Structures are given as C-alpha cells and as structure tokens.
A and B are shown apart, each in its own frame.
Chain A
Amino acid sequence: MAGPLLTRHFGRPGRERIDAYLETGGYQAATTVLRDLAPDAVTEIVEAAGLRGRGGAGFPTARKWKLTPKREGEARYLVVNGDESEPGTFKDRTLIEQDPHQLLEGILIAAFANQVHRAYIYLRGEFFLGYERLSRALAEARARGYFGTNILGSGFDLEVVIHRGAGAYICGEETALLESLEGKRGFPRPKPPYYPAVKGLYSQPTVLNNVETLCHLSHIITLGPERYRAYGPPVLYSVSGHVVIPGVKELPIGTPCREIIFKHAGGLRPGRSVKALFPGGSSSAIITPEFLDTPADFEPLAKIGSMLGSSAIIVMDDTTCIPAVIRRTVEFYRDESCGKCTPCREGTIWLTQIFDRILSGEGRMEDLDLLDGIARNMTGTCFCLLGESVPPSLRASLKYFRAEYEHHIKTGTCDIRAAVEA
C-alpha cells in the first residue's frame, strides 16, 4: 500500500481552494468520466472496485445505483448524507473541512453515473466551518465550469444545493433525512416496502450516499478497480477516547483493532490498559481486550457480536466507569429519539431512570434484569435504527462488566472514579 488516498492532502493550508485541488490532479477523474465513459461503465468500475457504503450499513454502492430506476423524463435525485452525528464518528466532517473538492468531484461522478441533474448535500447544521468551506468550494468549482450546464462541453448538467440541517441526530437516518429535506419533522419512513432508491425525495428515485463513500470515487476512477483495491481497499477509521493520537486513520479495511489503536493512534497513556472499546460508534456493542486482534471489518466484528458501523473506534482505558459511559449513550438516544415509536421513546426514558438510580447509589440488584429486559424488548421492535442502537452496547456492558454494576449497587460508590480522583 502506497500511503493514504482520501486523506493524503489533509492539513495542507489552502487545500480547500480549487487551485490547490487542481494542482494535484483534481477534477481529472470527473473529466475522464464525463468525456470518455458511459454512465453504466462508471457503475461497473465502482462495482469492480467493491465499494461499500461508508455511512454504517455497508451496502454495495454500485448495487444501490443499479437499484435506482432510470426512466426517461422522470425526476431523479442524488442526496448526500453529510449529517454525520453518530457519537465517535468524525471522518465526514474532516473530509468536508479538509478537502471539500474531493467530495464535490465524487458528487459529479455519482451524478453522471446515475444521470442525475440535481444533487442536495444535507449538511449537519452544527458544521459551521464545513458549510463555509464547502459553499466556497462549490462556488469556485461552478465558476470554473465543473457544475452548472453543459459541464466541460459534455452536455451534462448538474446543480448542487447545500442544505443545512438544524440539530437532530435522527436526520442521519436516510428516510428521516429525506423528510427533513422536504421541510418536515425528521420522522423516519417505513421501509420496506419503499427504499429511497425507488421512492426517495418527493417520492422520486433517489440515490442516497454518504460523504466518505463519494470521496472514494475519484480515486477509483483514477487508479482503476485493481490498483484501488490494492490499497486495502481503504477505509477511514475515526479513533478517539483514551488514545494518545486520536484522529482519522486511513487504513486497509480489516486492520486489526490492536494495530489501529497502538500503531496508528499512539496507544494509551503510560501505565494504562484497554478496558473496552466501541468499534463502530455508540450504536455498536462494546468489546473487551480479548477481541483486540479482531480485524476491523464488517464480518469479523459481526461474528463477535458487534459491528463496524461507521468505523468509529472509541477506546476506554482502565480508569473508565463503564456504567457511567453507557448511561451517557442511553441519555443520548433518549434526547434524540424522535418520539414516533413507543419502544424507543419510552424505553430510553425508563433505562436512564434506572441508570440514574444505580449511579446515585440507589440501585437494586433486580435493576440489572430490568435493564436487560427493557433492552431485549427494544430489540427488533423499534421503528428505525435509532432505537435499535440502544441495546447492543448496554447488553454487552451487562455481559462483560456485570460485576462493576453490582459493585455500584452494593456499595453505592464507584471505585474506578475514586481511584482516578485520588
């Protein structure tokens, strides 16, 4: 592997300007696509590259594109999910801030492959810097003829609109995002029967891709599927928590968790050891040090009862109070629940009440069964993945750290915290 692709120019001053991007071969892949390739040929290349969606679900990108009906004269949209809010995940924000043209070029390529003439970037409302940089980048690229009508003389038209969200985690869920983009409350839509590919924005066929997914496209075109795959294929891990060098780490998919943490994120502070980690954001089941050699990839993590998700690795060292962390995640889902379905709306409230009781020294032993029971009853019963994201980390914490919960209940204190504060 010859160094990073997507993150190669991170940290370079002025990288967000179009001249800097063009100097390193920017927009050449899109130019090739628009001038020399047929739309279906682009999709075939992306399929051969094996690109899987980087929003969390890992659905093959080319298959999603092929599932989108392309009927003559019917409106079709490309919607970019830039509503990154999964706790622990920050790769998309970094891609937008550090290299906005890389994303725009990916949008141009995806729009051409799907013959879409209007794209909306749903950008998280709190991304003030990202909005500023992306807006400016789009204006510059448009002024140079990379967006608008008859792009590069190819006859292809594309307008891109940056649409700011306004603070709601649920809008990262793709159907809630579409509702929000239509000016409604971010309530998820039922699926099945209709997925956004078939019935998306304004009930029209809609290609919905994540920011990182699109950022891979120019590299796939430039390198070709085989050389691209030789890079791993690459994936962006967001590594944070108790590591010395947190950050976005671009590595071949399947790099073992241990290597990511100790070789690429600087390991832990002196004298500390790994207690647990979220391998795929707050929605993934926490895992313990015995699983550190697991490749950080979809199937291997699924096999040990967790998931790669958005590839956000949050590391917790031995000073961490696990029940306190899990309470924080449950509070998060409680606050962000849209309130549409009962298991999620009520379940998260009950769970936080029990956590508050345990952590304030008022816990009862039967609370542990109650926590597990509520979590089980939320599994498979929630309307969307928000509610379904609560049980994995909670149930894993009860499995691996039951003694810690019991200690809180029996003594009304947290030995971990006391040891840290001493």
Chain B
Amino acid sequence: MARALPPPVLEEIARLRGLYAQPRSALLPALHAAQEEIGYLTEDAMRDVGDALELPLSEVMSIATFYEMFHLERPGRHHVRICTNISCHLNGCEALLERLCGRLGIRPGETTADGRVTLEPVQCLAACEEAPVLLVDAERHARVTPVMVDELLARLT
C-alpha cells in the first residue's frame, strides 16, 4: 500500500521500470518523479519507490543522499542555483552570490524563512559561454549582472 505517492506517479514508476533490464536502473528516474510530485524526498516517498523497485529503504536512501539534485528536506518554492566554477569565477560570480545572499538574507545552501527561495551554489552548468550563469528553477539566465539578480528575485513569489 502506497504511503506518499499518488497512483499516477506509481504508474509512471512502473512504466520507467519496464525500460530497463533490471528494475533498480529505474531508481534515479523514479526518485526524480517522486521529488517532482512532492517537492522533496520524504521517508515515505522513498519507501514507496523502494517497494516499486524491490529495494529496501536503506538502499534508496543511499542513492538519494549521493546525488546532489535530491533533497531530503523541504526546499524553497523556488530554487536558485548559481555556478561558482572557473569561467563564472573569472566573470564575477562572487559578486552575484554576495548580492543574492544579501537580498535574501541567507547564506549559500540555505532557504529563506518564508520558504520562498533556496539558494544553492552548484558546479559548472556547462554554459560557460554565458558566464556568469544562474539557474532559476529550470530556466537558465546568461551573463547575469547584480541588477539582473534583483529583477529575477522580484519575479519569484
């Protein structure tokens, strides 16, 4: 009996399972599906994924904690990822990160108290020709300036 995931998500996980020779291969896609549904990975959601793929909770958690995109705690409604790698470093990402921290009143890696924004420094986003780069949820923003940071944050509700 499912604990956290609604039937459509469980059906999707069953479909994903069929794409591979071994059920376990569907673990990453299944965790993505679960996280998209509830915003992060609760223990119950991970149990559901484990049941669907014949894996114990410990195995599912071992994977969920290895990969950076999975969240075991509730993140903000919006996710701001800032690249801090070489090309963005050379093009001023530190100033952007400072601006973001200042405007949001949080440190890198934290979520605002009102649950609006999670700020996460990330590795090279493979968009160095657009440095410095921000990902606001799924949307990439190129050649970001401190003024643009203010505009982008103002749009997030």
B97 interfacial contact with A, CB 8 Å: no
Stretch at the interface among A40-48, A239-247, A347-355: A239-247
Contact string against A for B residues 21-32, beta-carbon threshold 8 Å, 1 for contact and 0 otherwise = 110111111011
* Chain B 88-133 residues near chain A, CB threshold 8 A: 89-91, 122-131
Interchain CB contact (< 8 A) of A182 among B25, B62, B129: B25
Asked whether, in the complex, the Cβ of B122 is within 8 Å of the Cβ of A240, the reply is no
Asked whether, in the complex, the Cβ of B85 is within 8 Å of the Cβ of A240, the reply is no
Interchain CB contact (< 8 A) of B129 among A167, A184, A248, A329: A248
B151 interfacial contact with A, CB 8 Å: no
A-B contact pairs, 24 of them (CB 8 A): A75-B21, A87-B87, A88-B124, A125-B32, A126-B135, A128-B135, A128-B139, A129-B138, A161-B20, A163-B28, A164-B28, A164-B32, A166-B68, A167-B67, A167-B122, A182-B25, A183-B25, A183-B28, A185-B63, A238-B129, A240-B129, A282-B85, A324-B89, A328-B84
Asked whether, in the complex, the Cβ of B123 is within 8 Å of the Cβ of A336, the reply is yes
Q: Which residue of A lies closest to B26 (CB)?
A: A183
Contact string against B for A residues 313-335, beta-carbon threshold 8 Å, 1 for contact and 0 otherwise = 01010001000110011001001
Number of residues of chain A lying within 8 A (CB) of chain B: 53
Q: Knowing A88-B86, A241-B90, A328-B89, say if A314 contacts B128 (CB, 8 Å).
A: yes
Say how far B80's CB is from chain A's closest CB, in angstroms.
13
Asked whether, in the complex, the Cβ of B123 is within 8 Å of the Cβ of A242, the reply is no
Which A-B residue pairs are the 10 nearest by beta carbons? A167-B68, A240-B128, A166-B67, A183-B27, A183-B24, A128-B138, A167-B69, A87-B124, A246-B129, A240-B87
* Chain A 326-367 residues near chain B, CB threshold 8 A: 328-329, 332, 335-336
Say how far A133's CB is from chain B's closest CB, in angstroms.
12
Q: What's the Cα separation between A328 and B128 when bound, in Å?
A: 15
Q: What's the Cα separation between A191 and B51 when bound, in Å?
A: 34
Q: How large is the interface on B (under 10, 10 to 19, 20 to 34, 35 or more residues)?
A: 35 or more
Q: What's the Cα separation between A108 and B58 when bound, in Å?
A: 38
Asked whether, in the complex, the Cβ of B90 is within 8 Å of the Cβ of A320, the reply is yes
Say how far A323's CB is from chain B's closest CB, in angstroms.
12
Known: A126-B81, A241-B86. 11 other contacts (CB 8 A): A87-B86, A126-B122, A163-B28, A240-B87, A240-B131, A241-B131, A246-B128, A246-B129, A314-B87, A332-B85, A332-B123
Question: Which A residues touch B125, using CB under 8 A?
Answer: 126
Question: Which B residues touch A247, using CB under 8 A?
Answer: 129
Asked whether, in the complex, the Cβ of A88 is within 8 Å of the Cβ of B32, the reply is no
Question: Which A residues touch B19, using CB under 8 A?
Answer: 161
A168 interfacial contact with B, CB 8 Å: yes
Contact string against B for A residues 295-326, beta-carbon threshold 8 Å, 1 for contact and 0 otherwise = 00000000000000000101010001000110
